[in-house]
Amino acid sequence: MSRLRERFERLRAGRRKALVAYLCVGDPSLDESVALAQAAVRAGADVLELGVPFSDPVADGPVIARAAERALAAGATLPGVLEVARRLRAETDVPLVLFTYANPLLVRTLPRVVAAAREASIDALLVVDLPTEAAGELRLLAAQAGIDVVPLIAPTSTEARARAALSVATGFAYYVSVTGITGSATAPLEAASREAARLSAEHGVPVVVGFGVDSPDKARRAAGPAEGGADGVVVGTAIVKAIEGARSPAEAERAVFDLVKGLRDALDAP
Amino acid sequence: MTTLPGSFGAYGGRYVAETLMFALDELEAGARDILRTDEFQRTLGGLLRDYVGRPTALTPAPRLARALDPDGHTLGEVWLKREDLCHTGAHKINNALGQVLLAKRMGKTRVIAETGAGQHGVATATAAALLDLPCEVFMGALDVERQAPNVARMRLLGARVVPVETGSRTLKDAMNEALRDWVTNVASTAYCVGSAAGPHPYPTLVAELQRVIGDEARAQVMGATGALPDAVVACVGGGSNAIGIMRAFLDDDVSLYGVEAAGEGLSTERHAATLTRGRVGVLHGARSYVLCDDDGQIEEAHSISAGLDYPGVGPEHAHLKDTGRVTYLTATDREAVEAVDLVARRVGILVALETAHAFARVADVGRREAARRGRPASVLVCLSGRGDKDLGSIEAWRAAHGGGAR
Ligand SMILES: Cc1ncc(COP(=O)(O)O)c(C=O)c1O
Beta strands in B104-243 (DSSP E): 110-115, 135-140, 160-164, 189-191, 231-235
Cβ atoms of A38 and A254 closer than 8 Å: no
Is residue B8 domain-resident? no
Query: Which of B183, B203, B223 is the endpoint of a domain?
Result: B203
Whole-angstrom Cα distance, residue A31 to residue A28? 9
Neighbours of B401 (CB within 10 A): 13
Cα B293 to middle of ligand 1, angstroms: 25
Query: In B, residues 349-378, which contact A (CB 8 Å cutoff)?
Result: none
User: How do beta strands B160-164 and A152-153 pair?
Assistant: unpaired
Q: Does the beta carbon of B382 sit less than 6 angstroms from any atom of ligand 1? A: no
Q: State which of B151, B176, B203 marks the end of a domain.
A: B203
Contact A89, A123 (CB under 8 A): no
- Of A196-200, A210-214, B155-159, B322-326, where does mean pLDDT reach its minimum? A210-214
Same domain, B221 and B177: no
- Count H helices and E strands in chain B, helices first: 17, 14
**Whether residues B248 and B295 fall in one domain:** yes
* Minimal-distance CA residue to ligand 1 atom 1: B385
Is residue B34 a contact partner of residue A155, using CB atoms and an 8 Å limit? no
Same domain, B24 and B155: yes
Q: Is the CB of B235 under 6 A from ligand 1?
A: yes
CB of residue B237 inside a 6 A radius of ligand 1 = yes
Structure confidence at residue B1 (pLDDT): 32
- In whole angstroms, what is the distance from residue A128 CA to residue A97 CA? 12
Q: How far apart are CA A100 and CA A81, in angstroms?
A: 10
**CATH number of the domain to which B395 belongs:** 3.40.50.1100
CB contact under 8 A, B17 and A104: no
B307 lines ligand 1 (CB under 6 A): yes
**Mutation probe of ligand 1 site: the residue of B56, B87, B384 with most atoms within 8 A of C-beta:** B384
For residues B299 and B263, membership in a common domain is answered with: yes
Q: What confidence tier does A147 reach under pLDDT thresholds 50, 70, 90?
A: very high
Residue ending a domain, among B203, B236, B258, is: B203
Same domain for B137 and B199, yes or no, is yes
- Please indicate, yes or no, if residue B10 is contained in any of the structural domains: no
pLDDT at B117: 86
- Taking CA–CA distances from A70, the nearest residue in chain B reads B167
Which residues of A fall within a CB distance of 8 Å from B19? 59, 154-156, 176, 179-180
Q: Which domains does chain A have, with CATH numbers?
A: 3-265 (3.20.20.70)
pLDDT reported for residue A156: 92
Identify all chain B residues contacting A188, using CB atoms and an 8 Å cutoff: none
Query: Could you give phi then psi for residue B93, rounded to 5 degrees?
Result: -65, -30
Query: CA B139, CA B133: separation in Å to the nearest integer?
Result: 19
| pLDDT at residue number B2 | 38
CA-proximal residue: ligand 1, atom 6 (nearest) = B237
* Pick from A59, A129, A157: CB nearest B282: A129
Of B28, B77, B83, B114, catalytic: B114
Q: Is B239 in the pocket of ligand 1 (CB under 6 A)?
A: yes
Residue of A nearest to B20 (CA): A156
In terms of domains, do B228 and B138 share one? Answer: no
Minimum-distance CB partner of B22 among A61, A78, A158: A158
Closest ligand 1 atom number to CA of residue B241: 11
Is residue B392 domain-resident? yes
pLDDT band at residue A185, thresholds of 50, 70 and 90? confident
A186 pLDDT above the threshold of 90 = no
What pLDDT band is residue A198 in, cutting at 50, 70 and 90?
very high
Question: Is position B395 within any domain?
Answer: yes
Residues B223 and B175 in one domain: no
B269 and B240 together in one domain: yes
Question: In whole angstroms, what is the distance from residue B147 CA to residue B145 CA?
Answer: 6
Residue ranges, chain B, pLDDT below 70: 1-5, 403-406
Are B308 and B235 contained in the same domain?
yes
Query: Is any atom of ligand 1 closer than 6 Å to the C-beta of B98?
Result: no
The Cα–Cα gap between A202 and A215 comes to 29
**B77 and B129 both lie in a single domain:** no
Instruction: Write out the residue range of the structural domain in which residue B149 sits.
Output: 15-49+92-203
Residue A179: is its pLDDT beyond 70?
A: yes
Nearest CA in chain A to B311: A56
pLDDT digits (tens, 9 = 90+) for A33-88: 999 999 999 999 999 999 999 999 999 999 999 999 999 999 999 999 999 999 99
Q: Which residues of A touch B15 (CB under 8 A)?
A: 102, 129-131, 134
A248-257 pLDDT, tens digit per residue, is 999 999 999 9
The reply to whether B106 touches chain A by the CB within 8 Å rule is no
Q: Quick one: pLDDT at residue B5? A: 64
Has residue B135 been placed in a domain?
yes
Per the domain annotation, does B9 fall within a domain?
no
A227 pLDDT tier (thresholds 50, 70, 90): confident
What's the gap in Å between B401 CA and the centre of ligand 1? Answer: 24
* CA A143 to each of CA A78, A169, A174, A203: distance values in angstroms, whole numbers, following the listed order: 21, 11, 19, 19
Residue A48 DSSP SS3: strand
The C-alpha atoms of residue B12 and residue B20 are separated, in whole angstroms, by 16
Distance CA B90, CA B387 (A): 9
Triad B180, A99, A266: Cα angle to 5°? 90
**How many structural domains are present in chain B?**
2
| Dist CA A139 CA A160 (whole Å) | 19
Query: Which residues in chain B touch residue A207, judged by CB atoms under 8 angstroms apart?
Result: none
**For the stretch B81-105, what's the b/e string if a residue is b when 16 or more beta carbons lie within 10 angstroms of its beta carbon?**
bbbbbbbbbbbbbbbbbbbbbbbbb
- B6 located within any domain: no
Radius of gyration of chain B (CA): 20
Contacts of A156 in chain B (CB under 8 A): 18-23, 186-187
Task: Test A59 with B183 for CB contact under 8 angstroms.
Answer: yes
Query: For residue B219, what pLDDT is reported?
Result: 98
Distances (CA, A) of B17 to A24, A153, A201, B301, B355: 18, 9, 24, 24, 34
Mutate to test the pocket of ligand 1, among B93, B202, B305, B330 (most ligand atoms within 8 A of CB): B305
What distance in Å separates residue A92's CA from the closest CA in chain B?
Answer: 27
List the single residue in B with minimal CA-CA distance to A176. B19
Q: B390-397: long-range contacts at Cβ-Cβ below 8 A with a sequence spacing of 24 or more?
A: B390/B305, B390/B340, B390/B352, B390/B353, B392/B146, B392/B148, B392/B149, B393/B146, B393/B147, B393/B304, B393/B305, B393/B306, B393/B353, B394/B337, B394/B340, B394/B353, B396/B146, B397/B304, B397/B333, B397/B337
The answer to whether the Cβ–Cβ distance between A78 and B295 falls below 8 Å is: yes
Query: Same structural domain for residues B62 and B142?
Result: no
Same domain, B258 and B281: yes
Centre of ligand 1 from the C-alpha of residue B307, in Å = 5
In this predicted structure, the answer to whether residue A123 has a pLDDT above a threshold of 70 is yes
B261 C-beta closer than 6 A to ligand 1: no
Q: Would you say residue B290 lies in a domain?
A: yes
- Give the pLDDT score at A128: 96
